[in-house]
Amino acid sequence: MVALARPRGPRFALGVLAGATATAAGVALLVVAAWLIATAAASLPLTALSVAIVATRALGVSRGVARYLERVVTHDAALRTLSDVRARVYERLAWTEPVHRFRAGDLVTRLVSDTDATQDLLVRGLTPPLAALVTGAGVVAVSTALLVPGGLLLAAGLLLGGVAVPLAAAAAGRAPGRRRTAGRAALSTALVDTMHGAPDLVAYGAMPAAIARVEAADAELTRVERRDAGLLGLGAGASALLAGLTLWGTLLCGVAAVQDGTLAPVPLAVLVLTALAAFEIVAPLPGAAARLGSVRAAGARLFDVLDTPPALNPGPAAPPPAGDGLRIRGLRVRYGPGEPWALNGVDLDVPPGRRVAVVGPSGSGKSTLAAVLFRFRDPDAGTVHLDGADVTAVPADTVRARITGMPQDPHLFASTVRENLRLARPDAADADLRSVLARVGLDPDLLDTEVGPRGARLSGGMRRRLALARALLVPPTGDAGPLLVLDEPTTHLDPDTRAAVLDDLLAATAGRSMILITHDLEALDRMDEVVVLVDGQVSRRGTPAELRDLPGWFRNGLSAGPQGRPATISPGGPER
Ligand SMILES: Nc1ncnc2c1ncn2[C@@H]1O[C@H](COP(=O)(O)OP(=O)(O)OP(=O)(O)O)[C@@H](O)[C@H]1O
């Protein structure tokens, strides 16, 4: 984690310097004040003390200025590091795989709290110990110069308060820190799951159990936090005890030295107040050390996201040449080593302007094909060429500009219809937005309507149509436009709406290259080709009319109708 802050090294060094200056100024202020009071007590003329008086004022001011500078510089460096870390995490998430691997609430915690822990480490765990080291050495040197046993006593006190107590606090805080980080993740996972699934939980009467889970996670976190606070209190108490013991020890040593005549009375006051001030240097360390356990646990969770192997290779920055559409050969994909092939040797051609329907039973690999085309995953074997260029060899965003559409579960953002549409084309004029809404059968006057979280204020049909409108809005890049990949655009719609949406969709996309993944077999007459996928392999391909005459899943599905369509089919059966 510290390595992440390396680019901000000079700023952190300046922060350490400013922190050390602030602490040194605080100690020096007390030392000079002690000398001033003790010397003034000896009734010297006040003018002889003018330098010390000015020094006291200067130290008082410079202490505040240096502390301010330290806070500004270290927080600035830490926040810049944090934004670098966040950018890396978001970039990693854009490669999609962690999104599928982690639960939503857990991922939110990793993104927010665990990333924030980096700041905790840099601001509290890095700068204060280094500043303490620099100032502590200086203070011990001054004390030793005044009285060797006093200096040694102070060194021992500072080592105990600045090293032994923080080490003990770090050891004692390791397990609670881990539990605290895990507890925070458990609470937000339970909360987000409950909020997302609230309608279903209410419908099945499972809400009280879900709330009980949230309460249990909350109670566990509170318990751990309370123990954490106790630990912090113990650390602060131990520091105060050590400070008191060192002060008394120094005083006794100093008084003995004054009686022996080896130390004058004025340096005695300086020595004792130096010891008192010196513990300001190590005071923040036990608290910071006790937090190291949770910082380490948060760092491990953060690197869990950053180290998740990507499902695709981002590719170098070079645009693909314009050309002959999509050409897939021998495509094989699986979701993990040893898992069955979701796609197992698929060939598919979609020349510009051609419309291909991909159908097949549930789990046959249709959405996996869409995921490869949207560049959410890379092929494990085989090739996908778009206009002559291998899609894995060009940046994912370049491919997504030429292959666009609607994933199986499109997301609507809690904003207006206009803003949801502009996601696809930020510079689209209202006239374009109205026209695309009309094309998918939505009222063009809806532009300013708030759709609610995940489009909750729209009907299911309207949500689907809005997502379709967004897919259709992507600017065309050639005559046939970008290849449109629509993954079940009519799912969740009632049969009448489904037919109407498909009709509107096919009319609105006339002349455009398209892959339509669907379970609506009746409406495919306007498609140029139908490809039937079964168990990740192409079992039949042809025009809708040809397939209607061939035995197999397509003909069975058509005769069974929308309600009776077979969900699965045996892999080796004669009806493939
Ligand atoms: N994220 C994932 N992790 C692991 N396996 C997955 C994942 N997504 C899909 N699969 C598996 O890959 C296979 C193909 O799934 P896919 O979603 O592509 O099928 P589909 O034809 O789109 O199904 P449906 O018509 O039900 O949407 C299935 O066996 C499925 O269990």
What is the reported pLDDT for 541? 92
Bridge partners of residue 359, in order along the sequence: 532
What ligand 1 atom has the least distance to the C-alpha of 364? 21
For residue 66, what are the contacts with CB-CB under 8 A and spacing of at least 6? 18, 19, 21, 22, 25
- Protein residue with least CA distance to atom 5, ligand 1: 335
* The three-state (H, E, C) secondary structure of 290-341, written as one string: HHHHHHHHHHHHHHHHHCCCCCCCCCCCCCCCCCCCEEEEEEEECCCCCCCC
According to DSSP, the residues that pair with 327 across neighbouring strands are 349, 385
Give pLDDT, residue 427. Answer: 81
User: Going from the N-terminus, what domains does the chain have, and what CATH number goes with each?
Assistant: 2-306 (1.20.1560.10), 326-564 (3.40.50.300)
Task: Kindly give the distance from the C-alpha atom of residue 364 to the centroid of ligand 1, in angstroms, as a whole number.
Answer: 7
Residues in the chain: 576
Give the residue, by CA position, lying nearest to ligand 1 atom 9. Answer: 368
Write the burial class of residue 195 (CB in 10 Å: 0-12 exposed, 13-18 middle, 19+ buried): middle
* Span from the CA of 368 to the centroid of ligand 1 (angstroms): 6
Residue of 148, 162, 105 whose CA lies nearest to 257: 148
ipTM of the complex: 0.95
pLDDT score at 569: 38
DSSP state of 458: S
**366 C-alpha to ligand 1 centroid (Å):** 8
Ligand 1 atom nearest residue 408's Cα: 27
> How, if at all, do strands 529-534 and 355-359 pair?
parallel
Q: What is the pLDDT of residue 347?
A: 94
pLDDT score recorded for residue 564? 47
For residue 259, the surrounding DSSP H or E stretch is: helix 207-260
With a Cβ cut-off of 6 Å, ligand 1 is lined by 100, 335, 342, 360, 362-368
For the chain, 576 residues long, give each residue's pLDDT as a single digit of tens: 666 667 777 887 888 888 888 878 887 887 777 777 777 776 666 666 677 777 778 888 888 888 888 888 888 888 888 778 777 777 776 665 545 556 666 666 666 667 777 677 777 777 778 878 888 888 888 888 888 888 888 888 888 888 888 888 888 877 777 787 788 878 887 888 888 778 778 887 888 888 998 999 899 889 888 887 887 788 788 888 888 898 898 888 888 888 888 877 777 877 888 888 778 777 778 777 777 777 777 777 777 777 776 666 655 555 445 567 899 999 999 988 888 999 999 999 998 888 999 999 988 999 999 989 988 888 999 999 988 888 888 887 778 778 888 887 788 887 889 988 888 777 888 998 998 888 777 889 989 998 887 788 888 888 888 888 888 776 654 455 678 898 888 776 677 767 777 777 777 777 788 899 988 887 788 889 999 999 999 998 999 888 888 888 888 877 766 544 444 433 444 344
Mutate to test the pocket of ligand 1, among 344, 364, 519, 539 (most ligand atoms within 8 A of CB): 364
- pLDDT attached to residue 568: 44
What does the pLDDT read at residue 566? 46
Q: Count CB atoms within 10 A of the CB of residue 459.
A: 11
